[in-house]
Amino acid sequence: MSAHDEEPHVHGPHCNHDHDHHHHHPQVPIRKPQRPGRNDACWCGSGSKYKKCHLRADEAQS
């Protein structure tokens, strides 16, 4: 098979030679998920206020 019989190379995420395919994407900062306010309903769905339910556990993880 000669070089002219081969399909042309198309650059993409599955190309067969080494490229840095991530240089085209801008970096996005990683942000912490926003916690609910102390008097909001808890995120777990218990119906309790956040301060009475998961506030201490979430603060201990941080």
Q: What is the pLDDT of residues 18-50, one digit of tens each?
A: 655 555 667 888 887 888 999 999 999 999 999
Contact 44, 35 (CB under 8 A): no
State how far the Cα of 34 lies from the Cα of 57, in Å rounded to an integer: 15
- pLDDT (0 to 100) of residue 32: 79
Per-residue pLDDT for 61 more than 80?
Answer: yes
Tell whether the model's pLDDT for residue 9 goes beyond 80. no
Residue 43 is assigned to a structural domain of this protein: yes
* pTM: predicted TM-score of the whole model, two decimal places: 0.46
Close Cβ partners of 32 (under 8 Å, ≥ 6 residues apart): none
Domain-located, residue 46: yes
Range of the domain at 49: 35-62
Is 28 a domain residue? no
Residue 26 falls inside a structural domain: no
Total domains, the chain:
1
